[in-house]
Amino acid sequence: VCLLLELAKSAALKAGEIIRSYNSVGRTNNSAVVSVKSGVDLVTEADTRVEKVVTEMIKNAFPDDMIVGEEDYASCPSGAQGEHFPKGSIWCVDPIDGTTNFVHNYPFVAVSIGFIHDSIPRVGVVYNPFTDSLYEAAEGSGVGTLLNGNPVRVDSEASSVQDCLLVNNIGHYRADEFVDESTDRVKKWLRAGLRGYRASGSAAQNMAHVASGQVSCYYEHGYGGPWDVCAGIVLVREAGGVVWDARDNGKDLEMRFGKGSVCAGGKKVVEDVLKVAGKPAFKFD
C-alpha cells in the first residue's frame, strides 16, 4: 500500500506542475486549447496531456494493472451506465477535475488518483496545484487522512442541515427535468434552515474538503464518473466520514461506471441532508 500511495502522490505532483504551466490570472491568460465534449462539458489539451503522463507513470510501475481515466488514455474500456467495476487492481484517474474552473482560472481544480482492488477504493490522492494542497489516504494505514502531511478529520460538529456547510455540484445536464429537480432540492435544504450552500465545480475537491472538515457535507446527483469520487471515497472514510449513494440513504457508494449520486460527510449530517433532499428521481442514460 505504501508503494501505491507514494506513486499516486508523485504522479499527482507531476500533474500539478503541468497544470500550473498553463495558468496565469484571468480567463484570457489560460493557454490551454479548449474543446467541448458535450453540452457545457469541456476538455482541454491539458487534461489529455496530464492523463497521459499519469498513466505512463502507473504503467511503468504496475504494468499489469488496469487504468480507468476520464479522457483518452484509459487501458480499461468503460462499462455501461451503472455497471459494476471488474475485479482486480484498477487505477482511477481524473487528470483535471474541475475543467471548467481551470478554463476560467477559478482555483477549485484537482488531480484525482485512486486505486481500487476488488471493486473497493483502497488508496486516494487529491491534489490542488493552485492552493498546493495534497490530500492523501490509504485504507488501514493507521494514520487516517493527511493534508500536506497533517492529520485531518471530517466536521464532527455538524449533525443536521441547520449546522451544515453543504457543497453541491449540479453538473453539466441542462434537461428541464434535471434542472427543476436540482433547484427544488436546493430549496428544500434552504427551507429546512441550511447554514450555508456552496458549489465549487470539482467533485474531487469537494470530497477532499469534506475529509478535512472544511465543509460539512457534499451532495451530488449526477457526478461525471467514477474518476470523480474514487480517491475521495478513501479520503472521507479514513477521515471518519461516510460516503453513501444519494439514491439510497444508508448504503455505501459502490464503484460503477457512468454517472452516479453521492452524499459524503459525517454520518449524522449525511443522514439529515438526504432525509431533507428526498430520493432523486432523475435517471441518467
Catalytic residue among 44, 48, 99, 100: 99
**134-to-54, 92, 145, 267 alpha-carbon distances in Å:** 16, 17, 10, 24
**Is residue 228 annotated as a catalytic residue, yes or no?**
yes
Distance CA 75, CA 89 (A): 12
Distance CA 95, CA 227 (A): 9
Catalytic residue among 51, 70, 181, 272: 70
In this structure, what are the phi and psi dihedrals at residue 125, rounded to the nearest 5 degrees?
-135, 130
Catalytic residue among 58, 67, 90, 96: 96
Catalytic residue among 97, 220, 271, 272: 97
Catalytic residue among 155, 181, 220, 228: 228
End-to-end CA distance of the chain: 36
Distance CA 39, CA 48 (A): 19
**Is residue 70 annotated as a catalytic residue, yes or no?**
yes
Element containing residue 260 per DSSP (H, E): strand 260-265
Catalytic residue among 94, 136, 181, 272: 94
**Is residue 19 annotated as a catalytic residue, yes or no?**
no
**Is residue 41 annotated as a catalytic residue, yes or no?**
no
Q: What residues are labeled active site?
A: 70, 94, 96-97, 99, 228
